[in-house]
Amino acid sequence: MVIVRFLSCALSCLFVLPGIGAAQTAAVAAPADNHQALAIFPAPQQVEPHSGKLDLTAGIAMVQPTGDAGAGEVARMLRQWAPDHFLFASKAPQAAARLQFRRVPGMAPESYRLDISPGGARITASDDAGLRYGGVSFWQLVTASPGRVIPAQSISDGPAFRWRGAMLDSARHFQSPQYIRSFIDWMAANKLNRFHWHLVDDQGWRIEIRAFPKLTEVGAGRRPATAPGAPPLPEYRGFYSQAELRDIVAYAADRGIEVIPEIDVPGHALSAIRAYPEWGTGVAIPPGTEAHWGVFPWLYNSDETTLAALETILGEVIAIFPARYVHIGGDEAVKDQWQASPAAQARIRQLGLKDETALQGWFMGRLARYLEARGRTAIGWDEILEGDAPQSVTIMSWRGVGGAIEAAKKGHDAILSPAPQLYLNHVQALNRGDPPGRGEVISLASVLAFEPHPAELSAAEREHILGVQANIWTEHIRIEERASFLAYPRLSALAQVGWTGHGSKDYTGFLRRLMPQLDRLHALGLQPSASAWTPAIAVEPAATGGGAKITLSVQGGLPMQYSLSGAPPLPYSAPFTVPGSAEVKAWATLDGGRLGSGATRRIMPGALQRRDSRALKTCHAKVDLALEDDFPASGPRATFLIDILDPCWIYQGAMLDGVTRIDMAVGQIPFNFQVGKDRDTIKFRRPKTPAGEFEVRLDDCDGPVIATLPLAPAARNPGVTRLTAPIVPTKGRHDLCLTYTAAGPDPLWAIDEVNLLPQEQK
């Protein structure tokens, strides 16, 4: 079995950028005020400067046409986002400027025109969405004006794609209704318009279904997995009542965002089958399985009673969610249980189908037609193309862009949502202190560069590409702050691609526009990641003369500066040497301004070869994950970078002259992964002691053992344990292979930190 999707700190950002230049991310005739020129996000289609300025010292009064409910909702949103600037006309002082909303027929969907003159401002559009996006652009200009003065200008703008989405997985880890509202605000501020809400999966059922109350009574709770012998963790539980869901749907609608629910079938069904075993194939579920991650083999059966139950569930879902689209999953449905089920085989024969893949196609088609009969359109992950999905079904392409290409050629509408490019559960950088996630880095620059127009499609076929969507799977995103950290600023880059209709390699130009936008989002409660512009500080012994060699790196090739022990800053151009002890501070720059709070590292002569797991390299990178320790129940936990199918690390380029000992901090974590037959491929050397031992091998993983660290002390400690052992004296620079011996993969042993010591440390 190939496993793909499932293995899917301090959050400070300073965004004051003195001296921002006028470079743009699109061809824009910019106003003279550079800060204002960069205020509108995503980059607008056209900006025309005029003479004069609009003075907002007394605020701006919003004047809406009588009876225009859409304009009223825009006015209320702006008032909530910036109450010091936006005033309702009935309460505004006489001196306040006026913002008018105007409707005209014939403008493109979601497009607007924003005219600003010394006498006031006017937003013109044909639909509610256009008025709303014009309002968002005006809010961006207003909040980017430190002196409450905006240059006169006219902006004509609209999106390239009608689907600009973000998916949040609330099934694996639950987020509060208040957080969901904040998430929707951040989407609206970026002019995103589709919130795909993943509410159901193997690990949790999060939507109240009144016809089947056990779905939340049983399926909404689980006991998190722990390593053997570790203290149990408290039950994890949460779901949304129908009243809460309706409230969130209405809140999103007021901000122009359609909420797309996902009810996954026929796989990802464990939480439902736990609650109603008769919906499964009769295969027993071992206790605690719901606390695993991975691709589960439990499927719904295809009996009429089960399909009727699913139709009842979908009936309640569409009563809550008025959106045109309902996502019905269709991905990662392992057919083993259907193959072994006499009832499933009889069903295949009864229906005259070829095999289990065809049975899934029939199953999905049945539910898609149920939705179609009620005025809704089903969306499915791209696997459903294998079962001849009905023509009405929209395809969400996650296994690369190939599914969208195939779908468009067959006449289906399609949405680009490929892994790994747009999977934001991947880490943004390998910085110590960043939250857990999938171990392959997906950078801000790579999301920005995503090209949404597959070259394999003709112009007519490209009309079937509705747009783009980024996904946030939460297997390893336990708390809401981490979801925010992993979503932004990469979701802003996705918004730029969806709005402009193209990827961009103008990374610095994008950052110039992004920074004031993040300021605004911060005011709306967002704490985004600064990993994209936080330098990594690598330390190693200098080749000659003693001291430490310092190498700085940052994503996107941004210029960097550094300071040593409080000295004046210097530009960074190449690695440099620090004699003795020092404190290195480093930061990226943009147009001479400092980006973020930067990074700091203290250099100590006895700790020049200390590396955490994220600075190591996994040996084969089969399934790299940054996993959180399962201990303690509350408070900070360690995060380890580990390949769960091959726990093996390479310490590259170790300088072994004078090294006498190795110090390792290690932790144990449960092997709670449904990986099917891949588990049989995980091999370990036979342990020499009951608990096993870490081995350090020279040059490669078949090289001589130069240090052994017994795991017995760590086996008695559920948290991180520090192990120390002598190392065989060796000269020169070498790679070190770090592995451990074990009888099996549970628990997994993971490295937190490695330190090569020149002498025994007291």
| CA 51/CA 454 separation, integer angstroms | 42
Q: Which two tokens stand for residue 83?
A: 């109450």
CB 110 within 8 Å of CB 129: yes
Q: Using CA atoms of 537, 538, 541, 547 in order, give the dihedral in degrees to the nearest 10.
A: -10
| CA 398/CA 419 separation, integer angstroms | 5
Could you give the C-alpha distances from 698 to 59, 454, 704, in angstroms and in order?
69, 46, 6
> What value does the CA radius of gyration of the chain take, rounded to a whole number of Å?
28
Catalytic residue, chosen from 332, 413, 434, 678, is 332
Question: What order do you get walking across the sheet with 548-553 strand by strand?
Answer: 536-541, 548-553, 576-578
- 332 in active site: yes
> What φ, ψ does residue 451 adopt, rounded to 5°?
-100, 115
**Environment class of residue 677 by beta-carbon count within 10 Å: exposed (0-12), middle (13-18) or buried (19+)?**
exposed
Could you give the C-alpha distances from 290 to 173, 273, 400, 672, 674, in angstroms and in order?
12, 11, 28, 9, 10
Catalytic residue, chosen from 201, 208, 413, 646, is 201
Could you give the C-alpha distances from 230 to 11, 151, 227, 673, in angstroms and in order?
30, 63, 5, 17
184-196 burial code (b ≥16 CB/10 A, e <16): bbbbbbbbbbbbb
CB 104 within 8 Å of CB 124: yes
DSSP symbols for 61-99:
EEE--TT-HHHHHHHHHHHHH-TTTEEEGGG--TTSEEE
Catalytic residue, chosen from 268, 327, 412, 734, is 268
End-to-end CA distance of the chain: give it in Å, rounded.
48
- 699 in active site: no
- 262 in active site: no
| CA 187/CA 182 separation, integer angstroms | 9
3-state secondary structure 663-720: EEEEEEECCCEECHHHHHHCCCCCCCCCCCEEEEEECCCCCCEEEEEECHHHHCCCCC
Single-letter residue type at 404:
A
Please name every residue paired with 754 in a beta bridge, in sequence order, or none if there are none.
Answer: 611, 664
Query: Could you tell me which of 256, 247, 262, 83 has the C-alpha nearest to residue 181?
Result: 247
Maximum alpha-carbon separation in the chain: 85
Q: Please identify every residue annotated as catalytic.
A: 201, 268, 332
